[in-house]
Amino acid sequence: MPDLTLHAKQYKDTLQSRQTPFCDKDLRLPYERDAHRILYSDAFRRLRHKAQVFFIPNNDHICTRIEHVLHVSAAACTVARRLNLDVDLTNAIALGHDIGHAPFGHHGEKVLSDIAKLQKVNGGKFQHELHGLRVVDRLARLDREPEPGLNLTYAVRDGIVSHCGEDKSTALVPSDPTTKQLEAIADKNNLTAPATFEGCIVRLVDKMVYAGRDVEDALQAGLIELEQFQKELGNVIKVLGKTNGEIVNTLVTNLIDNGREGEIKLSDNVAAALDGLKDWNTKKIYEHKEVERYKLNIEQGMKHLFQQLLDDVQATERFKSARLPMPPGGVRAILKQFIANSKYSENDADAQIVLDFIAGMTDNYLIRSISELFLPIPIA
């Protein structure tokens, strides 16, 4: 079996470097510390109320974004352990990989991208991979630390910005970290592979673990029937398995077997079966009328909320003047505190501030904010 750890040894200084070195002594290894800093951050906690597929599910057994992240970590760490790679690094990347996700999943991401293009901020687009790097570098907060940002190692930051779960890659080898400037990345579609084998594992596992899980959730929600799934995906089931556990086991085992040959990849037949499952999910689950029906409401609500908050920020010079009602705990008061904590400069566009703020919202809080600003409050 090839020694996959040679890459990490060759680039150790770059991979373990931080934007600001910690001065304190710590019992934890560098990547173990990173995983804990992500885990205890406010941005990570909010993932429990951000949609994976289904918006604001009433069923506690339907996955939200935080469960997806934990599923990725579990599977990716199994692969890394069997390949003698760094499990702490794998866990940290997996925990942080979706920390930049918008409320309401990929549809919310599309709405924020439309806003960014119209407002000419954020490079004219919103991509959760790139925003994830912005979150851990500049926006996330940990307890009462004086400065925002999590100050993670290069390897973890690279894994977050490079995970690109929507691409079609099924085989990856690490890129050279000494030539990859993370802050200069402007579009996820121009990304090279992650700079570590651990990042490559997370990038592939991210595309693997949701496919079977989404089937289980759709069955729970009554959007599909088990007989329909078994009949229409018979050939896929023969390769991958019939339950989420069997599917994940097939995919993880295949990654390990190929990793022992020196490359993080899926075999052609397994990759083809996974593509078949994901295509079926798109047609039968993600484009189901019950999933689609609220997308226009979400789009209109997010755009109205963005414009109202932008007007408020501009009218009050970032809340330096008290021209608007600002009850404690209200969305304007929280936005004011967000601006102060994030330490924006005069060169940061007001539209960028509001975009960052809404991107960090949970589904529940976004709806609550819309209700607060646009719906009447009973007076009796």
At 112-129, the pLDDT tens digits run 999 999 999 999 999 999
| For residues 90-115, average pLDDT | 97
Q: What is the model's pLDDT at position 94?
A: 98
| CATH class label, 6-99+140-289 | mainly alpha
| Mean per-residue pLDDT of the chain | 94
| For residues 305-330, average pLDDT | 92
Q: What is the model's pLDDT at position 367?
A: 96
- Least confident range of 18-22, 86-90, 151-155, 187-191: 187-191
| For residues 168-195, average pLDDT | 91
For 49-64, the pLDDT digits (tens) are: 999 988 877 778 889 9
Check whether 373 has a pLDDT greater than 80.
yes
Q: What is the model's pLDDT at position 80?
A: 98
Express as a percent the part of the chain with pLDDT over 70: 99
| For residues 202-215, average pLDDT | 95
Query: What DSSP assignment string belongs to 315-354?
Result: HTTTTTS--S---TTSHHHHHHHHHHHHT--TTS-HHHHH
| For residues 73-84, average pLDDT | 98
Q: What is the model's pLDDT at position 7?
A: 93
Q: What is the model's pLDDT at position 290?
A: 85
- Which pLDDT band holds residue 165 (cuts at 50, 70, 90)? low
Domain ranges for the chain: 6-99+140-289, 292-374
Q: How many CB atoms lie within 10 A of CB 289?
A: 7
Check whether 377 has a pLDDT greater than 80.
no
DSSP E strand boundaries for the chain = 171-172, 264-265
- Least confident range of 25-34, 147-156, 184-193, 361-370: 184-193
Express as a percent the part of the chain with pLDDT over 90: 85
H or E element that contains 154: helix 154-161
Indicate the burial class of 373 (C-beta count within 10 angstroms; 0-12, 13-18, 19 or more). middle
Q: What is the model's pLDDT at position 266?
A: 96
Cβ proximity of 15 and 153 under 8 Å: yes
Q: What is the model's pLDDT at position 166?
A: 64
- Tell me which residue of 105, 316, 298, 78 sits closest to 205, measured CA to CA: 78
| For residues 141-155, average pLDDT | 94
CA distances from 305 to 12, 26, 310, 335, 353 (A): 45, 43, 8, 12, 13
